[in-house]
Amino acid sequence: MDCQYLPLASTGQFSSLFLDYINKKDILFPFYQRYPELSAFKEQINDKAFDESKRQVLVDALERQYAQISNKPDFSVLLQPNTFTVTTGHQLNIFTGPLYIVYKLITTIRLAQQLKKAYPDYNFVPVYWMATEDHDFAEINHFSLFGKNYSWATEQRGAVGRMNPQELKTLFNQIPEKLSLFEEAYLKHNTLADAARHYINELFGSQGLISLDADDAALKRVFAPVMRDELQHQRSGELVAKQTELLEKLGYKTVISPRDINLFYLDDQLRERIERKEDGTYRVLHTKLRFTEQELLQLLDEHPEQFSPNVVLRPLYQETILPNLAYIGGPSEVPYWLQLKPVFDYFQTAFPILMPRNFAMYVPSVSAKRIRKLGLTPEELFKDTLVLKREYVENHARHTLKFDNENKVVNKALDNILHKAQMVDPTLEKAVLAETKRFANAITRLEKKMRRAEEHNQEVGVRQLLAVKDELFPNGGLQERSENFLTFHLNDREFLNKIRSVFDPFDYRMQLCLE
């Protein structure tokens, strides 16, 4: 593939907080530990303390979760003190969801590979943190294939990872393409978590990627001291609120809002917030569940799996149970991690290196040929459609479509006429100015007519231009945020390998990948 690059700022698609982080703006230095560059990982390794008992709990959990997978990875490497992880996470979008989720996984794999080359004395394992406890079903229940949207309707509630995916059988009847991998995953497993683990292992297991389901009693037990502190003292919300205030004073828009208690109560068909009442008791929202502090802490001791961290504490949970060095996130994730550093400091946990994922736009051969023929640059492709169309027509017109030179001559003549009219009778000024305005409007109308005529003359080129724009920006948005990888994979089984071959996890630019 022929890859062209442009700065993310040139795309108009990213927040100032995200861009300033990438560009190492000094006012953001207090909000993270280390900038994501290869040399930073040596110190990060030295900072990451992770004892043998935690490694054993992690490996045991992975062995249980992969018990039904025949070609499972060798987890024993995680028991070695010189082994570390690099992690990305996402919700369990059906059929992998939009392209950018796959891009996150590939970036993580590539990062592990590059770190191994740079630090051969250590092992680096790429990890996919499956957001199995997330309960926002509306965000994961749909995907787009060849421009058509498919959705999963269900009455199931609660953590999505616990949902039974066999209901998706009706969806397979609607999809004309044969998707054997996903039929095997969804129709032969009883939970969405097991199904996702299956297809992720088939797609990326050979490259070392491990999928972790943190909805696990043993893993939650490791995190229980933090959850106990949260229930009793509610420090995380206060810390994040102060950090958020600092960011907002610098002019940035923040992503997450902390709660007093940043934990959910988790059970089958249920994931609801825990609140503390003024009388010191606790309640689970939208239920009749009530607890005294003693009862709730006893439940935590006996069943830590019934507590689920929200967006504020989930990153800390991740860094508590993994020997992790870096988190690979998107343009919304990296900014919200910048709100969280005080929580890590409070719990004396190393803050990971925040790595932006790779950003890409894949251009199939037909569109690639059109782009080359039209002479479009990456910067031009990201322009507004109307602006791009107008500039294309003007740049390819045989004659200029504006009367700039003529206007200068006429305006000078009109100024002379106005001057003479004022000398004869000052009251004639309004009449002359009105005629001048009518003339300017007439020129504008003529320019529009000429542009439409020229657009007709260049009809083939304009049509090809709009076709490329529509393909690369479905519904006006970035391709990676709506298209599914299957749209390209079904036509080219080497698609994932091609993307992996051009991704550099330390290159924070948008890349246009032309076939």
For residues 418 and 229, which has the higher predicted lDDT (pLDDT)?
Answer: 229
Cα–Cα dist 452/448, whole Å: 6
Q: Does one domain contain both 171 and 118?
A: yes
Q: Does one domain contain both 408 and 338?
A: no
Q: Does one domain contain both 157 and 218?
A: yes
pLDDT tens per residue, range 348-363:
999 999 999 999 999 9
Q: Does one domain contain both 94 and 153?
A: yes
pLDDT given at position 401: 47
Please report which confidence band the pLDDT of residue 81 belongs to, taking 50, 70 and 90 as the band edges. Answer: very high
Instruction: Say if 421 falls within a structural domain.
Output: yes
Please report which confidence band the pLDDT of residue 442 belongs to, taking 50, 70 and 90 as the band edges. Answer: confident
Q: Does one domain contain both 153 and 217?
A: yes
Q: Does one domain contain both 436 and 315?
A: no
Q: Does one domain contain both 447 and 341?
A: no
* Sequence-separated (6 or more) residues with CB below 8 Å from residue 149: 142, 143
Residue with tokens 């005294």: 292
pLDDT given at position 498: 96
Instruction: Say if 478 falls within a structural domain.
Output: no
Instruction: Say if 285 falls within a structural domain.
Output: no
Q: Does one domain contain both 351 and 418?
A: no
Please report which confidence band the pLDDT of residue 196 belongs to, taking 50, 70 and 90 as the band edges. Answer: very high
Asked if the model's pLDDT at residue 413 lies above 80, the reply is no
Instruction: Say if 280 falls within a structural domain.
Output: no
Q: Does one domain contain both 443 and 349?
A: no
Q: Which domain holds residue 128?
A: 2-222+310-363+497-514
pLDDT given at position 10: 94
| Inter-axis angle of helices 495-502 and 99-118, nearest 10 | 50
Which letter does DSSP use for residue 89 in this model? E
Please report which confidence band the pLDDT of residue 110 belongs to, taking 50, 70 and 90 as the band edges. Answer: very high
Please report which confidence band the pLDDT of residue 416 belongs to, taking 50, 70 and 90 as the band edges. Answer: confident
pLDDT given at position 391: 81
Instruction: Say if 129 falls within a structural domain.
Output: yes
Cα–Cα dist 13/276, whole Å: 40
Q: Does one domain contain both 140 and 197?
A: yes
Q: Is 396 in contact with 461 (CB distance < 8 Å)?
A: yes
Instruction: Say if 34 falls within a structural domain.
Output: yes
Please report which confidence band the pLDDT of residue 152 belongs to, taking 50, 70 and 90 as the band edges. Answer: very high
Stretch 73-82: mean pLDDT: 96
Q: Is 99 in contact with 484 (CB distance < 8 Å)?
A: yes
pLDDT tens per residue, range 13-61:
999 999 999 999 999 999 999 999 999 999 999 999 899 999 999 999 9
pLDDT tens per residue, range 446-501:
767 766 765 666 677 888 888 899 999 998 999 999 999 999 999 999 999 999 99
pLDDT given at position 255: 93
Q: Is 237 in contact with 339 (CB distance < 8 Å)?
A: no
Nearest to 514 by CA among 385, 389, 362: 362
* Cα distances (angstroms) measured from residue 16 to each of 13, 194, 316, 335: 10, 38, 25, 10
Please report which confidence band the pLDDT of residue 406 belongs to, taking 50, 70 and 90 as the band edges. Answer: low
For residues 211 and 389, which has the higher predicted lDDT (pLDDT)?
Answer: 211
Q: Does one domain contain both 354 and 407?
A: no
pLDDT given at position 331: 97
Which letter does DSSP use for residue 425 in this model? -
For residues 456 and 305, which has the higher predicted lDDT (pLDDT)?
Answer: 305
Stretch 90-94: mean pLDDT: 97
pLDDT given at position 348: 96
Stretch 216-223: mean pLDDT: 98
pLDDT given at position 389: 83
pLDDT tens per residue, range 314-334:
999 999 999 999 999 999 999
Average pLDDT over the chain, rounded to an integer = 93
pLDDT tens per residue, range 239-256:
999 999 999 999 999 999
pLDDT tens per residue, range 130-144:
999 999 999 999 999
* Sequence-separated (6 or more) residues with CB below 8 Å from residue 79: 52, 55, 56, 59
- The answer to pTM > 0.85 is yes
For residues 462 and 196, which has the higher predicted lDDT (pLDDT)?
Answer: 196
Q: Does one domain contain both 427 and 316?
A: no
Stretch 427-450: mean pLDDT: 76
Instruction: Say if 448 falls within a structural domain.
Output: yes
Cα–Cα dist 193/509, whole Å: 32
Domain count, the chain: 2
Asked if the model's pLDDT at residue 439 lies above 60, the reply is yes
Strand stretches in 42-146, DSSP E? 83-90, 123-130, 142-145
Instruction: Say if 172 falls within a structural domain.
Output: yes
* Sequence-separated (6 or more) residues with CB below 8 Å from residue 342: 239, 240, 242, 243
pLDDT given at position 282: 97
Please report which confidence band the pLDDT of residue 411 belongs to, taking 50, 70 and 90 as the band edges. Answer: confident
Stretch 162-172: mean pLDDT: 95
Please report which confidence band the pLDDT of residue 430 belongs to, taking 50, 70 and 90 as the band edges. Answer: confident
